[in-house]
């Protein structure tokens, strides 16, 4: 379908696809098998300026928007969702700095991030704070001109690989969600170590790790915005990033459709290609239709965000919810179309199916997305009265 | 260090079809790419530049649409792109092509000239060494590693059937490179955006000062009669006698089998 992309957007798609086909597809099975972080691929993405897409030109980036980011994420996800997750989580990590950082913080961190010299992680989740982000126990106590952090973040994407971490910690527990603050913690800071590295069902090329803060002292300049702004910044960050999860869904689903379509046209049973069976054609038709609908929604939400619209929570939750459900359904169906072959590691679809599941869980489960959408609807309804 | 990389735009296919009547390549309908070996030459040029400073120019002789290949080279990071184009170049064989390219290299000036070992559409592997001969400079073919480069000196590894040679040379030198040399980089978005707007330097036969007789079809002694993969014969013949006698016998034998 023609999405009226401009020449630069087409260029971003072409280049990302070229990298995906030439550098990612040949190694994705091995990265998955060995649960290996794709450092070499990250270098290629850096050299190609892809880490600078969403960062303004004055900080060394390309100054593009959500649509360009979605296109790049989609193409990476078509090849490997593990790689795409590492790339996307980087954006999730720098958004707090980009959205609410001071001029000094932006100047200090963004150019290296845009150049791909430093990777970023975003650390909100803890053992007691999953869907209920207000359960954060990590504390940040001001002592002189420093903050002292104590606590453990869990399941942090890019954990251990990132040079820069944006971390939510409580500066005033008695104030609940209004007592949380957002900090930058750099790799190598004393008192900051990495804990358990997870062994996962899917997106195994991405690193998911604990961040452990044990009397970790950081300078007060590392506070983003003001004390008490932590959750607001985190929610603003997620509002933008969630559409990227939608783009991941579109990409992995497209990859699965492509693989199963190729297979269906080759595989012969009962004297004919299985693609000649209506049962198979109808599955392919549904998959393609759902993917196109998801892509249309993700691109439309990206344009909505790029136009500077204020209300983005509801629509980005919709894009994440819909596209991730499509990704799950399409990847399961791709395995079904390919039968036993689909179940084997010789083909990429079993990995895509394992990978796709995460999209319904991270950056807020799909139940939580429905909560966000539902609450927005009720708010809108109340306004009309 | 001034580096010139000679690149060729070729059809994107390893098995190009040949028109059986004219014995020429059928190019219609096949997308164009930079000759894959030339991608390694570009990468080598960029790596030398990044180490020693200086600049890299990409040079191609071809029709106006060869500009596409030059823009791709620009997106990879070469400093300058030169299109050597003239109707009079049409029909050039490797001799006439190398003669024209040598003329352009002379105008541009170069310490190191890099070429791919061969073009995938013609597979002759002749143009690189021929350019060096026309320029009267040394060349090393099949370079698989560049060990050291400094002012006036280079040391490289040349891939051989069994193992490799280490070759030292003065500069200027021409190298033809094999794919083992490096992994070509991907273009960057900034490079691509800049390449779209960059100016391509154009040269024609007047700029390189070459007469009609040395150009294009007229300047091309080659006539293609048939194209086939050569049979590999591994005969060995030992000569006896004094060195002088052996050399005489060798020359006679080479004449006999039409090597000389
Ligand atoms: C691979 C991976 C990578 C991750 N990367 C990061 C990262 O980089 N940074 C980071 O901060 N976090 C990260 N996370 C954490 C992720 O965002 C959380 O897992 C997610 O928000 C859900 O929290 P939970 O797993 O604790 O589930 P829980 O909150 O315990 O939820 C369990 C179930 O209960 C449901 N549920 C909970 N509350 C409600 C409710 N109110 N209404 C209806 N249903 C509800 C949920 O939908 C879910 O089905 C990552 C997680 C994984 C698995």
Domain ranges of chain A: 7-114, 120-230, 231-384
Tens of pLDDT along B30-52? 788 899 999 999 999 999 999 99
According to the 3-state scheme, what is the secondary structure of chain A? CCCCCCHHHHHHHHHHHHHHHHHHCCCHHHHHHHCCCCHHHHHHHHHCCHHHCCCCHHHCCCCCCHHHHHHHHHHHHHHCHHHHHHHHHHHHHHHHHHHHCCHHHHHHHHHHHHCCCCCEEEECCECCECCCHHHCCCEEEEECCEEEEEEEEEEEECCCCCCEEEEEEECCHHHHHHHEEEEEEECCCCCEEEEEECCCCCCCCCCEEEEEEEEEEEEHHHEECCCCCHHHHHHHHHHHHHHHHHHHHHHHHHHHHHHHHHHHHHCEECCEEHHHCHHHHHHHHHHHHHHHHHHHHHHHHHHHHHCCCCCCHHHHHHHHHHHHHHHHHHHHHHHHHHHHHHHCCCCCHHHHHHHHHHHHCCCCCHHHHHHHHHHHHHHHHHHHC
Looking at the domain assignment, is residue B224 inside a domain? no
User: Cis (ω within 30 of 0) for the bond into B172?
Assistant: yes
pLDDT below 50 — which residues of chain B? none
Mutate to test the interface with A, among B75, B186, B187, B195 (most CBs of A within 10 A): B186
Instruction: Nearest by CB to B188, from A8, A23, A47: name it.
Output: A47
Looking at the domain assignment, is residue B220 inside a domain? no
Instruction: Nearest by CB to B189, from A15, A22, A23: name it.
Output: A15
Looking at the domain assignment, is residue B236 inside a domain? no
CB A215: neighbour CB atoms within 10 A? 11
- Give the class (CATH, top level) of A120-230: mainly beta
| A122, HSE (Cβ side, Cα atoms, 13 Å) | 25
Range of the domain at B151: 2-214
A48:B193 CB<8 A = no
Q: How far is the CA of A128 from the centre of ligand 1 (A)?
A: 10
Q: Is the dihedral of CA B240, B241, B246, B248 positive or negative?
A: negative
Q: Based on the residue annotation, tell me whether A146 is a catalytic residue of this protein.
A: no
Alpha-carbon gap, residue A21 to B246, rounded angstroms: 56
Give the closest residue (by CA) to ligand 1 atom 16: A362
Give the closest residue (by CA) to ligand 1 atom 32: A131
Instruction: Nearest by CB to B192, from A11, A23, A44: name it.
Output: A11
Domain count, chain B: 1
Alpha-carbon gap, residue B112 to B174, rounded angstroms: 6
Give the closest residue (by CA) to ligand 1 atom 12: A125
Tens of pLDDT along A72-98? 999 999 999 999 999 999 999 999 999
Question: Of A365, A370, A374, which is best to mutate to test ligand 1, by the most ligand atoms within 8 angstroms of its C-beta?
Answer: A365
pLDDT along chain A (385 residues), means of 10: 96 96 97 97 97 97 98 98 98 98 98 98 97 95 98 98 98 94 98 97 98 98 98 97 98 98 97 97 98 98 97 97 98 98 98 98 98 97 91
Looking at the domain assignment, is residue B53 inside a domain? yes
Give residue B14's pLDDT: 57
Nearest CA in chain B to A8: B193
Helix or strand (DSSP H, E) at A139: strand A139-143
Compute the nearest-CA separation of A57 from chain B (Å).
11
pTM (2 decimals)?
0.88
Q: What is the ipTM of this complex?
A: 0.85
A49:B185 CB<8 A = no
Give residue B236's pLDDT: 82
Compute the nearest-CA separation of A355 from chain B (Å).
27
| A61, HSE (Cβ side, Cα atoms, 13 Å) | 22
Choose which CATH entry (3.55.10.10, 1.20.1440.230, 3.40.1360.10, 1.10.540.10) describes domain A7-114: 1.10.540.10
Looking at the domain assignment, is residue B62 inside a domain? yes
B204, B207, B212, B213: CA torsion to nearest 10: -110
Please give the CATH number for the structural domain made up of A231-384.
Answer: 1.20.140.10
Tens of pLDDT along A244-287? 999 999 999 999 999 999 999 999 999 999 999 999 999 999 99
Q: What is the largest CA-CA distance in chain A?
A: 79
Q: Tokens 């989580």 map to which residue?
A: A89
A15:B185 CB<8 A = no
A18:B188 CB<8 A = no
Q: Tokens 């500069």 map to which residue?
A: B171
B192:A44 CB<8 A = no
CATH of the domain at B179: 3.40.50.620
Looking at the domain assignment, is residue B255 inside a domain? no
Looking at the domain assignment, is residue B132 inside a domain? yes
First CA to last CA across chain B, in angstroms? Answer: 38
Looking at the domain assignment, is residue B229 inside a domain? no
Secondary structure (DSSP) of A78-133? HH-HHHHHHHHHHHHHHHHHHHH--HHHHHHHHHHHHTTSS-EEEE--BTTBSS-G
């Amino acid at each position: 379908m023609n999405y009226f992309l401009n020449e630069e957007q087409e260029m971003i798609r072409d280049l990302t696809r070229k990298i995906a086909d030439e550098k990612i597809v040949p190694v994705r099975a091995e990265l998955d098998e060995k649960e290996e972080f794709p450092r070499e691929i990250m270098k290629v993405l850096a050299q190609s300026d892809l880490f600078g897409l969403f960062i303004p030109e004055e900080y060394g980036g390309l100054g593009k928007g959500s649509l360009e980011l979605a296109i790049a994420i989609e193409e990476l996800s078509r090849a490997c969702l593990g790689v795409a997750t590492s790339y996307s989580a980087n954006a999730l990590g720098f958004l707090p700095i980009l959205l609410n950082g001071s001029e000094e913080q932006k100047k200090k961190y963004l150019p290296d991030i845009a150049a791909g010299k430093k990777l970023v992680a975003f650390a909100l989740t803890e053992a007691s704070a999953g869907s209920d982000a207000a359960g954060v126990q990590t504390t940040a106590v001001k002592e002189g001109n420093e903050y002292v952090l104590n606590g453990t973040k869990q399941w942090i994407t890019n954990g251990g690989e990132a040079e820069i971490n944006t971390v939510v910690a409580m500066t005033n527990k008695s104030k609940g969600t209004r007592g949380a603050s957002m900090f930058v913690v750099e790799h190598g800071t004393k008192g900051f170590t990495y804990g358990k590295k997870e062994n996962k069902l899917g997106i195994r090329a991405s690193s998911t790790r604990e961040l452990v803060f044990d009397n970790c002292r950081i300078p007060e300049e590392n506070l983003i915005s003001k004390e008490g702004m932590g959750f607001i910044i985190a929610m603003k960050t997620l509002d933008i990033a969630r559409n990227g999860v939608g783009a991941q869904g579109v990409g992995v689903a497209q990859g699965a459709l492509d693989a199963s379509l190729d297979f269906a046209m080759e595989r012969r049973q009962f004297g004919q290609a299985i693609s000649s069976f209506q049962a198979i054609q109808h599955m392919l038709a549904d998959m393609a239709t759902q993917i196109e609908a998801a892509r249309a929604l993700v691109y439309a939400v990206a344009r909505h965000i790029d136009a500077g619209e204020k209300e983005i929570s509801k629509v980005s939750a919709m894009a994440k919810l819909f596209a991730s459900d499509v990704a799950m359904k399409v990847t399961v169906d791709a395995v079904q179309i390919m039968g036993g072959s689909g179940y084997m590691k010789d083909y990429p679809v079993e990995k895509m199916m394992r990978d796709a599941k995460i999209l319904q869980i991270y950056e807020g489960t799909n139940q939580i997305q429905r909560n966000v959408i539902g609450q927005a609807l009720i708010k809108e309804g109340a306004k009309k009265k | 260090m001034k580096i010139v990389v000679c690149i060729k735009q070729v059809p994107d296919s390893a098995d190009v079809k040949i028109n059986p009547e004219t014995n020429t390549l059928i190019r219609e309908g096949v997308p164009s790419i930079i000759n894959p070996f030339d991608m390694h030459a570009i990468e080598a040029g960029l790596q030398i530049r990044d180490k020693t400073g200086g600049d890299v120019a990409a040079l191609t002789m071809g029709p106006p649409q060869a500009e596409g290949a030059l823009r791709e080279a620009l997106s990879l990071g070469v400093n300058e792109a030169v299109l050597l184009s003239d109707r009079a170049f049409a029909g050039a064989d490797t001799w006439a092509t190398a003669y024209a390219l040598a003329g352009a290299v002379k105008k541009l000036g170069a310490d190191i000239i890099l070429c791919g070992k061969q073009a995938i559409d013609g597979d002759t592997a002749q143009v690189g060494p021929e350019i060096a001969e026309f320029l009267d400079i040394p060349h090393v073919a099949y370079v698989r590693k560049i060990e050291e480069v400094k002012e006036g000196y280079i040391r490289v590894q040349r891939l051989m059937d069994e193992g490799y040679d280490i070759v030292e040379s003065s500069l200027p030198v021409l190298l033809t490179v094999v794919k083992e040399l490096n992994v070509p980089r991907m273009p960057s978005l900034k490079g691509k955006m800049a390449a779209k707007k960059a100016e391509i330097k154009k040269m024609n036969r007047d700029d390189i000062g070459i007469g009609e007789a040395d150009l294009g079809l007229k300047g091309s002694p080659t006539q293609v009669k048939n194209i086939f993969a050569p049979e590999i014969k591994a005969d060995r013949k030992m000569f006896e006698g004094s060195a002088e006698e052996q050399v005489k016998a060798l020359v006679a034998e080479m004449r006999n089998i039409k090597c000389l």
